Amino acid sequence: MDKYLRRKDSSSRTDDDEPSTSVTKKLKKVVKRKYDEDYIKYGFLWCGDETAPRLQRIICSDQLSNESMVPSKLKLHLYSSHPSCANKDKQYFKVLRTKKNRRNL
Ligand SMILES: [Zn+2]
């Protein structure tokens, strides 16, 4: 009779015994992206903090977070939202930037 009770006890699973591998740090390394002067060819300027810059679109004045500072995303936005500007070169956006800065002054 005693045996039966013990067996029942030992058969109960102990799920709270976590393997040590799951205790590894889940800290995500935050990579701050730097603005590349080349991004202007996609129609983007940087604004904000130099160590964690954000992007500002020259064309529509929207701001993008630091995490969105990925060339492929910038390109995608330009092509999908501003197809008329997709074939413009850096010089075009630089002129736009100058005009924009004058407007802001
Ligand atoms: Zn836009």
The 10s digit of each residue's pLDDT in 21-75 is 554 556 667 778 888 888 999 999 888 888 888 889 888 888 889 888 899 999 9
DSSP letter string over the chain?
-HHHHHHHHHHS--TT---GGGGS--PPPPPPPPP-GGGGGGTEEEES-SSS-EEEETTT--EE-GGG--HHHHHHHHHHH-GGGTT--HHHHHHHHHHHHHHH-
Residue 61 Cα to ligand 1 midpoint, Å, equals 7
The 10s digit of each residue's pLDDT in 73-83 is 999 999 999 99
Structure pTM? 0.61
Residue 53 Cα to ligand 1 midpoint, Å, equals 18
Confidence (pLDDT) at 19: 58
Confidence (pLDDT) at 30: 72
